[in-house]
């Protein structure tokens, strides 16, 4: 596996979890090592045949993995695939592995996207009745600390930044605080970009990684899609107010990564890496403007 600095399960426990999950799914229990892929800071993924096995990196991530899987399995039929479970969770050493239906498709290249497909994706999420999934949802903005995000951002994240970028960081954090709640909360995926949206033949074929899904502002998902596909791809798909809100949210992505590391007790190397990235990206920003999405962002 590629060295990322993220927490990784011990090789013996990892092998036990993967073998157990693949066995439960009826797959070969000897996956090619090359099928193990990094999937963000919370999970590892093993691809084998028709099955994808997600393994929580630590006990906290494993608990969230199980909650998110219950959400996925409760979702109604959608015009794209989702990774529904194909076997019961497997647990060992305080960690969890879940065998899921492998969703076909490939990530869309960054910088472009079909507005019609992006609009359909957003509309499909908005149409999901919250009452059938709310018990399985994460708190809004859990990635960056949930209800504590303002304190984390102002009191712990921003003071770690270079002095030259702190005033800009304060301005974009204040802009996010100033956003009024949406008139109506909807189902938001929370990480709707990059490898989490799979495409096939020019259409959205699947959406994976529902760990951050919550009831919240639709602008959260618009921000993620726009920073990956380009803001022009969302113009005409969402109204001007939602786009404005999305730009405010997107501008805070560098700070959100720092808050994530602090809130979730990540190793110092992860937090330091997030601080370094925030320093570089905030230095290149012009106050509250859209920012470019990179792998590992909350988008």
Model confidence at 297: pLDDT above 60: no
Would the pLDDT of 148 be above 50? Answer: yes
Cβ–Cβ under 8 Å, residues 97 and 45: no
**Which of 153-167, 222-236, 237-251, 277-291 has the least mean pLDDT?**
277-291
pLDDT band at 233 (very low <50, low <70, confident <90, very high): very high
Structure tokens at 296: 């590992």
Structure tokens at 265: 């007790």
How would residue 291 be classed by pLDDT, with cut points 50, 70 and 90?
A: very low
Tell me the average pLDDT across 213-241. 95
pLDDT of residue 158: 98
Four-point Cα dihedral 225, 227, 233, 238, nearest 10: 60
Question: What order do you get walking across the sheet with 36-39 strand by strand?
Answer: 36-39, 43-48, 51-56, 95-101, 90-92
Q: What pLDDT, on a 0 to 100 scale, did the predictor assign at position 138?
A: 96
- Please state, in angstroms and rounded to a whole number, the distance separating the CA atoms of residues 88 and 90: 7
Please give the average per-residue pLDDT across 95-103, as a whole number: 95
The one-character DSSP state at 2 is -
The pLDDT of residue 9 is: 76
27-31, 146-150, 240-244, 276-280: the lowest-pLDDT one: 27-31
CATH topology of domain 11-103: Phosphorylase Kinase; domain 1 (3.30.200)
Strands (E), 7-57: 36-39, 43-48, 51-56
pLDDT higher than threshold 90 for residue 236: no
Q: What is residue 91's predicted lDDT score, i.e. its pLDDT? A: 96
Paired residues of 52 in beta bridges: 47, 100
pLDDT value at residue 30: 72
Q: Quote the pLDDT of residue 32.
A: 67
Confidence of residue 4 (pLDDT cuts 50, 70, 90): very low
Helices (H), 43-85: 59-74
pTM of this structure? 0.88
Mean pLDDT of the chain: 90
The band of 90, judged by pLDDT with boundaries at 50, 70 and 90, is very high
Q: Read off the pLDDT of each residue in 136-157 and give the average, rounded to a whole number.
A: 96
Is 11-103's fold the same as 107-284's? Answer: no
Closest by Cα among 261, 262, 251 to 176:
251
How large is the average pLDDT for residues 224-248?
Answer: 95
Q: How far apart are CA 170 and CA 143, in angstroms?
A: 19
Backbone angles phi and psi of 139, in degrees to 5: -65, 150
Q: What is the pLDDT of residue 92?
A: 95
* Whole-number pLDDT of residue 3: 39
| The pLDDT of residue 41 | 66
Does the domain formed by 107-284 have CATH 3.90.1200.10?
A: yes
Domain boundaries, the chain: 11-103, 107-284
CA 54/CA 234 separation, integer angstroms: 31
- pLDDT tens sequence across 15-46: 899 999 999 999 877 766 657 776 666 788 98
Q: Is the pLDDT of residue 172 over 70?
A: yes
Q: What percent of the chain has pLDDT over 90?
A: 76
Radius of gyration of the chain (CA): 19
88 token code pair? 């019961």
Per-residue confidence band for 286, with pLDDT thresholds at 50, 70 and 90: low
């Amino acid at each position: 596996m590629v060295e990322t600095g993220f927490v990784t399960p011990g090789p013996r426990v990892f092998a036990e979890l993967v073998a157990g999950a693949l066995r439960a799914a009826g797959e070969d229990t000897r996956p090619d090592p090359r099928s193990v892929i990094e999937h963000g800071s919370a999970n590892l993924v093993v691809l084998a045949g028709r099955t994808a096995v997600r393994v929580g990196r630590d006990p906290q991530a494993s608990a969230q993995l199980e909650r998110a899987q219950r959400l996925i399995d409760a979702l109604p039929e959608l015009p794209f695939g989702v990774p529904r479970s194909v076997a019961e969770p497997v647990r060992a050493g305080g960690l969890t592995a879940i065998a899921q239906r492998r969703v076909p498709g490939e990530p869309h290249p960054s910088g472009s996207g079909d507005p019609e497909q992006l609009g359909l994706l957003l509309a499909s999420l908005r149409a999901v009745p919250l009452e059938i999934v709310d018990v399985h949802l994460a708190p809004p903005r859990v990635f960056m600390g949930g209800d504590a995000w303002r304190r984390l951002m102002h009191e712990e994240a921003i003071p770690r930044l270079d002095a030259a970028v702190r005033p800009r960081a304060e301005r974009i954090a204040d802009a996010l605080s100033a956003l009024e709640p949406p008139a109506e909360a909807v189902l938001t995926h929370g990480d709707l970009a990059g490898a989490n949206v799979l495409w096939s033949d020019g259409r959205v074929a699947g959406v994976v990684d529902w760990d951050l899904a919550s009831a919240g502002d639709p602008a959260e998902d618009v921000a993620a899609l726009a920073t990956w596909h380009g803001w022009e791809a969302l113009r005409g798909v969402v109204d001007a107010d939602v786009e404005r809100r999305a730009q405010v949210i997107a501008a805070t992505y560098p700070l959100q990564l720092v808050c994530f590391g602090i809130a979730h007790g990540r190793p110092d190397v992860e937090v330091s890496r997030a601080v370094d990235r925030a320093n570089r990206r905030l230095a290149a920003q012009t106050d509250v403007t859209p920012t470019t999405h990179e792998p590992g962002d909350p988008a």
